[in-house]
Amino acid sequence: MRRLSRAQRDSDESDQLRTVELTHHGRKTGKAYTVKVWFVRIDGYYWVGSLNANGSWVHNVRASGHAHLDFGNGQKEYKCYWVANTRELERFSRAIRRKYPVLSRMIRLIQRKGKQVAFRLEPVI
């Protein structure tokens, strides 16, 4: 696991963005699909997740272990690590609530039965 340098962590303007475009490929077709997702940075890594563990993009990213993110300056490839640890998922949830205080709570109320999932992303060099 490669950590981002301090300069990369501190000077990244992506933290000001609300969403990121995530491109994934279909498990059966290989076709590229793009979705907008919320993201946070924890310990220098980007994390993305969903309240819908059965979403197509979640299945596709979990199966391939890769995705491309576009923060507005072109796509970059990332290795995606499924987060199964309950403590780490709670850490992700807290970071989401801090970054999106109003919307995250409203969506959580609407979608009570959804199981939250998350991926920790590491850039592919």
CATH number at residue 17: 2.30.110.10
Asked if the model's pLDDT at residue 111 lies above 80, the reply is: no
Tokens for 52? 């819908």
DSSP per position, 62-87: HHH-EEEEESSS-EEEEEEEE---HH
Who has greater pLDDT, 1 or 102?
102
- Residues 8-57: tens digit of each pLDDT: 443 455 667 889 999 999 999 999 999 999 999 999 999 999 988 889 99
Domain membership flag for residue 93: yes
Q: How confident is the model at residue 103 (pLDDT cuts 50, 70, 90)?
A: confident
Domain membership flag for residue 113: yes
Residue bearing tokens 């009570």:
112
Predicted confidence at residue 110, as pLDDT, reads: 60
Domain count, the chain: 1
Domain membership flag for residue 79: yes
Domain membership flag for residue 109: yes
Asked if the model's pLDDT at residue 63 lies above 80, the reply is: yes
CA dist., res. 98 & res. 8, Å (int) = 21
Domain membership flag for residue 1: no
pTM of the model: 0.81
Residues of the domain holding 105? 6-123
